[in-house]
Amino acid sequence: MPARLRRLRAAAREAAPALLGFAAVRVIGVAVLFSWGHRSGRPAAERMATLWDAQQYTEVAAAGYDHGLPSPGAGAHTGDAYSNLAFFPLYPALIRLVRAVTPLGFPSAALLIAWVASLAAAWGIFAVAAWCHGRRTGVLAAVVWGALPHAVVESLAYTEALFTALAAWSLYAVLTRRWIRAGALCSLAGLTRPTAVALVAAVVAAAVTAAVAASVRARGRRVAPGPTEEWWGSAEGWWGSTEEWWRPCLGAAIAPLGWLGFIAWVGARVDRWDGYFAVQRLWHSRFDGGVSTARELWHICLHPASAPLATVVVALVLCAGAFLCALTVAHRQPLPLVVYSLGLLVIAVGDSAFFGVRARFLLPAFPLLLPLAAGLARVRSGGVRLTLLSTAAALSALYGVYLVFVDIHAP
C-alpha cells in the first residue's frame, strides 16, 4: 500500500469519532426536518435544496450568471432589484459537475455536495482543534460545530459547509507549515464566499511572519522569543524551523487569487471597477462599521418582548462570538486562527445586510469553539458531557425546523 494511502487511512481512523459524532448530530437535525416536513405536507428535501440562497446557487449552476446590473426600472414594484453576481462561483461549478456525471438534478446535487463538504469541514475542525489541544478536544469541537443554533445551514444547499471545509484545511496547512497547500485551499475558499477575505488575512499574516523568521534565521541571526512565539507554539516547533523563506511567500501570493479573481471578473462583467460592491449594495449589503448592528441590538434591548425569536438568537450568537473571540486572544490561540475568527466577527458585526444572516456569517468561525470544546474536554464525567451535547443537538434540531419551516426570513 502506498505510504500516502496509509497515512490517509491512519488519519481517518484518528478522526473517526469526530466524524461519527458530527454525523450523528446532523442526522438528528435532518431527521427532525423530514418528520416536520412530512407532517406539514412540505417536503423537507425540497426546502433544504431551494430555500433562499440555495435557489440562487442552483439557478446559477443551471443558467449561469447575469450579464450586468439590473436596469434602473427593475424591482420598481417591490423596491428590490437583485443580481446573482453576488454569489461566488465554486459551489455552482461543483453542482454543475455533479449534475453532469450523475443522474441527480441540480437541487439534489447541491445537497449532496453540501453534505459531503460538511463532513470534510468536521474533519478539518477536528484536525485543527486536535493540533491545538489534543484529540478529545478535536472530537468535541467537531460535534459542537454540528450542534450550534444555526447548524441546520450545514445541511442546506448553502456554501457555509464548503467554505468551512476549505478554511479549516487551509488553516491546518498553515499550522503544519504546508504553505503552498494553504495558499491553494485559501484561493479556492476565495471562490466560495466573500467572507474568505478573513481567511486570506489569516494566511497572509502567518506567511509573512514565517517568511521574516526564516529570512532572519537564514542570515544566521537569532530570532528573539516574544509574544508571537508563544502564539505559534514552542520555539523548537516553530521558530526552530529551517524552512526556506520563499515557500510562505508563495503561499501568501496564491491565497488571495480566487477572491480577487472573482471580484475582478464581476467588475469586467458589469463594466465598472466597483462592480461586485455595486451588486452587494443591491442586496443592501455594505460595511458600515457596525452601525446597523448596534441599532438592532439597542432596539432589542428596548423592546425585547416584540423581538422575533430569530432576531434574539442572532443577537445572543453575536454576543457569544465576541466573548469567545476575547477568550481565544486571552488563551493565546495560534495567530492565524485569531486573525481568521476576528475577521469573520468584524464582517458579521460590521455588515449592514439583513440582521438575521449575521449568525450564519459566524458559522465558519470554528476556532471560536475551541475554548468551549477544551472546557468540555476537562469535564470528568462522560455522562455530563453526553447530556450537554444531546441537549444542544436537540435544541439545534428544533431551531432548525423553525428556521426552515416557520421563520419567513433567510437563515
Q: Between these two residues, 77 and 21, which has the higher pLDDT value?
A: 21
CA dihedral 160, 163, 165, 167 (to 10 degrees): -130
114 and 154 Cβ atoms separated by less than 8 Å: yes
pLDDT tens profile 380-411: 888 999 999 999 999 999 999 999 999 888 88
With a cut of 90, say whether residue 137 has pLDDT above it: yes
With a cut of 80, say whether residue 282 has pLDDT above it: yes
Average model confidence (pLDDT) for the chain?
91
Beta bridge partners of 123: none
C-alpha cell at 109: 446535487
pLDDT tens profile 172-218: 999 999 999 999 999 999 999 999 999 999 999 999 999 888 777 76
- What type of residue is 386? L
- What type of residue is 150? H
Q: Between these two residues, 180 and 74, which has the higher pLDDT value?
A: 180
Banded pLDDT at 6 (limits 50, 70, 90): confident
Banded pLDDT at 239 (limits 50, 70, 90): very low
With a cut of 70, say whether residue 343 has pLDDT above it: yes
Q: Between these two residues, 243 and 20, which has the higher pLDDT value?
A: 20
Q: In the chain, pLDDT over 90 holds for what percent of residues?
A: 78
pLDDT tens profile 249-262: 999 999 999 999 99
With a cut of 50, say whether residue 148 has pLDDT above it: yes
Burial of residue 227 (number of CB atoms within 10 Å: 0-12, 13-18, 19+)? exposed
- Select the highest-mean-pLDDT range: 6-20, 63-77, 123-137, 241-255: 123-137
User: How far, in Å, CA of 185 to CA of 165, rounded?
Assistant: 9
362 and 117 Cβ atoms separated by less than 8 Å: no
> How confident is the model at residue 230, as a pLDDT?
46
13 and 381 Cβ atoms separated by less than 8 Å: no
Banded pLDDT at 76 (limits 50, 70, 90): very low
Banded pLDDT at 305 (limits 50, 70, 90): confident
Radius of gyration of the chain (CA): 22
With a cut of 90, say whether residue 219 has pLDDT above it: no
> CA angle 233-236-238, nearest 5°?
50
> How confident is the model at residue 321, as a pLDDT?
97
With a cut of 50, say whether residue 79 has pLDDT above it: no
With a cut of 70, say whether residue 77 has pLDDT above it: no
With a cut of 60, say whether residue 238 has pLDDT above it: no
Nearest CA-CA partner of 246 in 175, 180, 170: 180
Chain centroid to Cα 118, Å, comes to: 10
> How confident is the model at residue 229, as a pLDDT?
46
